[in-house]
Amino acid sequence: MQFSDFSLDKRLLTSLEHMGIEKPTEIQVQSIPVGLSGRDLMASSKTGSGKTLAFLLPAMQRVISKKALSKRDPRVLILLPTRELATQVYSQLRLLVANTQYKAMKILGGENFNDQAKGLARDPHFVVATPGRLADHLKQNHLHLNGLELLILDEADRMLDLGFADQLRAINKAADHKRRQTLMFSATLDHGDINEIAGELLKEPEHVSIGASH
Ligand code: ADP
Ligand code: MG
């Protein structure tokens, strides 16, 4: 299996080459086709197995393949539990968007709120955020999620551990429409509340679980 076996834009394949990434990992082999199909996904695999590209590549492809971009950005919202994790995902996303005309922005707790509001007013296509700060901007109408096409929850188990369930629900409600696809990634699926939140946020999801110990 090669990255070129998926229907991915040439620019993405070129970015992967520049990143020195040659062959998809198991979670990528199984998750990328689901992401590209438009179906919801609940996926788990251990830390370090390549989950980030498993969602960033379908996310990029979804935005790239849109013929006419309407004014309703962001198209893609990626939520992570901590600033550190969000920063890591954002830096991989930057490498992928660098080759395109699309804009990505990060919205993290602890950074200047007004500067973030100004950045959001420039309508980034991709937003990488921690849930608390993103929910604060939503309340202030600094962004609208009625054009959101793809919601990604990475490290969903840790977001629940950190008490972000209410913010996830608020974000879900603001982005609740037919067009939206949701991808949920987690290191484990044992977290008691994960099935509950998945039941609320995902529609008939595909399940991918790599290396689960049953
Ligand atoms: P996870 O989110 O599952 O913990 P990451 O997405 O952070 O894992 O990836 C871990 C590391 O593996 C990163 O440094 C990333 O660049 C690298 N990586 C991801 N996919 C591949 C691949 N297909 N081949 C080689 N390295 C990869
Ligand atoms: Mg990860």
pLDDT in tens, 106-132: 999 999 999 999 999 999 999 999 999
For the CA of 157, the nearest ligand: 2
The answer to the question of residue 41 being in a domain is yes
Confidence of residue 188 (pLDDT cuts 50, 70, 90): confident
Decide: 52 in ligand 1 pocket, CB within 6 A: yes
* Contact between 83 and 130 (Cβ < 8 Å): yes
In a domain, 101, yes or no: yes
Q: Is 32 domain-assigned?
A: yes
Do the bridges between strand 104-107 and strand 76-79 make them parallel or antiparallel, or are there none, so unpaired? unpaired
Q: Report how many domains make up the chain.
A: 1
CB of 156 shorter than 6 A to ligand 1 = no
Measure 30 CA to ligand 1 centroid, in angstroms.
15
**Closest ligand 1 atom, residue 24 Cα:** 23
Q: What is the mean pLDDT of residues 144-172?
A: 95
Question: Average pLDDT, stretch 147-171?
Answer: 95
Q: Examine residue 62 and state whether it is found in any structural domain, yes or no.
A: yes
Instruction: For residue 199, give both structure tokens.
Output: 């039941």
| Residue 177: inside a domain | yes
**What is the interface pTM, i.e. ipTM, of the complex?**
0.99
- Residue at token pair 């689901």: 34
188 lines ligand 1 (CB under 6 A): no
> Does residue 83 belong to any structural domain of this protein?
yes
Q: What percent of the chain has pLDDT over 90?
A: 88
Confirm whether 36 is domain-assigned. Answer: yes
Task: Show the domain range for 161.
Answer: 3-209
Residues written for the chain: 214
Residue 99 belongs to domain with CATH number: 3.40.50.300
Segment 33-58 shows an average pLDDT of 97
Query: Average pLDDT in the 205-214 region?
Result: 83
pLDDT of residue 73: 85
| Sequence-separated (6 or more) residues with CB below 8 Å from residue 148 | 74, 75, 76, 77, 175, 180
Is the beta carbon of 15 within 6 A of some atom in ligand 1? no
Is position 214 within any domain?
no
- Non-local CB neighbours of 34 within 8 Å, separated by 6+ positions: 41, 43, 58, 183, 206, 208
